[in-house]
Amino acid sequence: MMAAGAIRGSRIGSGPMGEAERGEAAPRHHVTFFCINDHTTELQFALEADLPDAWDCPRCGMPASIDSNNRPTAPKAAPYKTHLAYVKERRSEDEAAELLTEAIQTLRAKRKSGEIIF
């Protein structure tokens, strides 16, 4: 059951919002962006606003531009690299062999002293 004084569907401060309360809207113009997949996106910008060079297409996510003849191409994605690939970029084969030899010697010394049991 509802309370006697409740007005359903309203909240404090709600009311008709017109230009009298919000102020005048800035003058705008329509700009069309074109993506590589032939999607068009029409947006509104204020007249004094700087237009972006590119806009992400809301349908496919590809970059779109204002110039329909020179549409931007898809960004190139870098291939996935494993941890080993990154290590090989930093170390040469000789450095890797030297580090492995040092690690094996250290492990054998610790096993002989009883510091490591396995």
Res. 25 pLDDT band, cuts 50 70 90: confident
- Of 40-44, 64-68, 77-81, 113-117, give the lowest mean pLDDT range: 113-117
Q: What does the domain layout of the chain look like in residue ranges?
A: 26-65, 83-113
Residue 17 has pLDDT above 90, yes or no: no
- Residue 43 — φ and ψ, nearest 5°? -125, 160
pTM equals 0.51
Query: What local confidence, expressed as pLDDT, does residue 23 receive?
Result: 74
Are 39 and 59 contacting, i.e. CB atoms less than 8 angstroms apart? Answer: yes
Alpha-carbon span 106 to 97, nearest angstrom: 14
Residue 36 has pLDDT above 60, yes or no: yes
CATH architecture group of domain 26-65: Single Sheet (2.20)
Encode burial over 63-98: b for 16+ CB neighbours within 10 A, e otherwise: bbbeeeeebbeeeeeeeeeeeeeeeeeeeeeeeeee
